[in-house]
Structures are given as C-alpha cells and as structure tokens.
C-alpha cells in the first residue's frame, strides 16, 4: 500500500501537471480579460446608494419590480450600432439621464411594452433625458426586422439602435444584472447604473412617470 502522505516525486515529471494547469489558468485569465475588455469594471462609477434609494422609493404599483442599485456599475463604454451601422456607445449620450431598454422583435413582452416607451419618449425626451432602446435581433436581417417593427407601430420617438452581436446583453448577464428580455437600465448622465428592471412595465402610467420624474430630478 502506498503512503498517501509521501511527498510527490521530484524532477520534471513531478511538476509537469502543475505547470500545465498554471499555463491553462493563465490562458483562461487572459481570454477572460480580452473578453471583458470592452466592458466597464463593476466599480467604474461611484457608489450612489442615496440616488438609488430615491428611485427605489418612487418605484411603486406598475413599476414595483424596478430595483434601485447604484452599486458602481458603469456602461459609458458599452458598444452598439445606430441605424446606419455606425458604432455608438453610451458615452455618446453623456449629459442625459437614460432609460435604456433592451428588446427584440421576437420577444412578445418587449413588443407589448414598446407603445408605452414610445409615449414616455414623446413626453420626456430632451437635452436632460432620453429613452434609449437597444434592439437584440441577431443574424442576417436583424436590423431590417427591428426597423420594420418600429415602422409598423409608428413609434416615431424610438430610434433604432441595435447590438446584433448580443455582446452588450451578454455583459449584463455576466454581471448578474439581467437574465432575459425585456430588461431596462436607468443610468445617470455619466452612464452609471442607478436602477434595474427585469421584465416589462407599464411606463405610460402615473407610476412610470413618477420613476422618470425621479430620475430626471436627481440632478435638480
């Protein structure tokens, strides 16, 4: 019977496996760093618990599922495309509080939510606030499907922005911010997360307007 307490044999063979594991672990770390390189770190923004609490307290009734966060996650560098295919980031909207809604034309709850978002955008979009929809129809013809849906619904206040790579939403999943569609982020004018809503909501309601008013009012 072998002695399980005996030290491992010395020499190259004795530590070949640990070195292999070390190299493999390093490769995984490098791959993860590259994969996450386009994403902001979880603490890229200051913690804003007071602001998050304001939104949390405003979120009642139809918006009761919205949760104030303000934990320091930032999305200024989050990439997506405009209707012409040009690169855009959240930082391009700096200075505006944002209601960022992730949707897809194949998502039934997303489709049902769009009229209310269009109404809120029509009422509130300004130099201080914007409803920013980001479509996630992937594959060939994704942009065309999204634009056709917006045109059919005559959602004139909702411009087409899209992430056909799905990378932006995968980032939310990695950071445990969202798991499915629709999903909504409330961001401050620097692109810092203040609140998260998983699932649809009736934004065109007194409850929805109360949340939007509270978001805009955070900057006076």
Q: What is the mean pLDDT of residues 71-81?
A: 97
Q: What is the pLDDT of residue 34?
A: 32
Where residue 202 falls among pLDDT bands split at 50, 70, 90?
Answer: very high
Q: What end-to-end distance do the CA atoms of the chain give, in Å?
A: 77
Sign of CA dihedral 166, 86, 201, 188: positive
Does residue 18 have a pLDDT over 80?
no
Residue 55 inside a domain? The answer is yes
Residue 5 inside a domain? The answer is no
Residue 100 inside a domain? The answer is yes
Does residue 39 have a pLDDT over 90?
no
CB 153 within 8 A of CB 114: yes
Residue 2 inside a domain? The answer is no
DSSP state string for the chain: ---TTSPPPPSTGGGHHHHHHHHHHHHHHHHHHHHTTTSPPTTSS---HHHHHHHHHH--GGGTT-EE--SS-B-TT-EEEETTS-EEEGGGGTTSEEEEEEE-TT-HHHHHHHHHHHHHHHHH-SSSEEEEEEE---STTHHHHHHHHHHHHT-TT---EE-TT-HHHHHHHHTTS-SSSSEEEEE-TTSBEEEEEES----SSHHHHHHHHHHHHTT-
CB 75 within 8 A of CB 93: no
Residue 4 inside a domain? The answer is no
Task: Report the chain's mean pLDDT, rounded to a whole number.
Answer: 84
Residue 25 inside a domain? The answer is no
* Domain housing 208: 40-217
Share of the chain above pLDDT 70, in %: 80
- Give residue-wise pLDDT tens across range 134-143: 999 987 788 8
Total domains, the chain? 1
Where residue 32 falls among pLDDT bands split at 50, 70, 90?
Answer: very low
Domain containing residue 46: CATH number: 3.40.30.10
**Residue 39 token pair:** 């994403």
Does residue 36 have a pLDDT over 70?
no
Q: What is the pLDDT of residue 19?
A: 33
Residue 13 inside a domain? The answer is no
Q: What is the mean pLDDT of residues 43-53?
A: 94
Residue 29 inside a domain? The answer is no
Q: What is the mean pLDDT of residues 109-125?
A: 98
Does residue 25 have a pLDDT over 70?
no
Q: What is the pLDDT of residue 42?
A: 55
Does residue 152 have a pLDDT over 70?
yes
Where residue 220 falls among pLDDT bands split at 50, 70, 90?
Answer: confident
């Amino acid at each position: 019977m072998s002695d399980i307490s005996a030290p491992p044999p010395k020499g190259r063979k004795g530590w070949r496996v640990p070195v292999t594991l070390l190299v493999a672990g390093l490769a995984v770390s490098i791959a993860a760093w590259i994969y996450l390189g386009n994403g902001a770190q979880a603490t890229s923004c200051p913690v804003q618990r007071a602001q998050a609490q304001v939104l949390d307290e405003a979120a009642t009734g139809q918006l009761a599922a919205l949760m104030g966060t303000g934990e320091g996650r930032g999305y200024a560098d989050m990439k997506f495309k405009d209707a012409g295919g040009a690169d855009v980031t959240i930082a391009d909207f700096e200075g505006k509080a944002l209601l960022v809604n992730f949707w897809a034309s194949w998502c039934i709850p997303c489709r049902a939510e769009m009229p209310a978002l269009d109404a809120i955008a029509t009422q509130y979009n300004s130099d201080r606030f914007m409803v920013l929809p980001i479509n996630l129809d992937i594959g060939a013809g994704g942009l065309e499907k999204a634009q056709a849906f917006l045109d059919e619904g005559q959602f004139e206040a909702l411009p087409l922005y899209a992430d056909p790579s799905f990378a932006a939403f995968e980032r939310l999943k990695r950071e445990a911010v969202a798991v499915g569609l629709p999903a909504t982020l409330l961001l401050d004018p620097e692109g810092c997360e203040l609140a998260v809503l998983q699932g649809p909501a009736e934004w065109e309601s007194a409850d929805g307007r109360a949340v939007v008013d509270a978001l805009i009012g955070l900057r006076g």
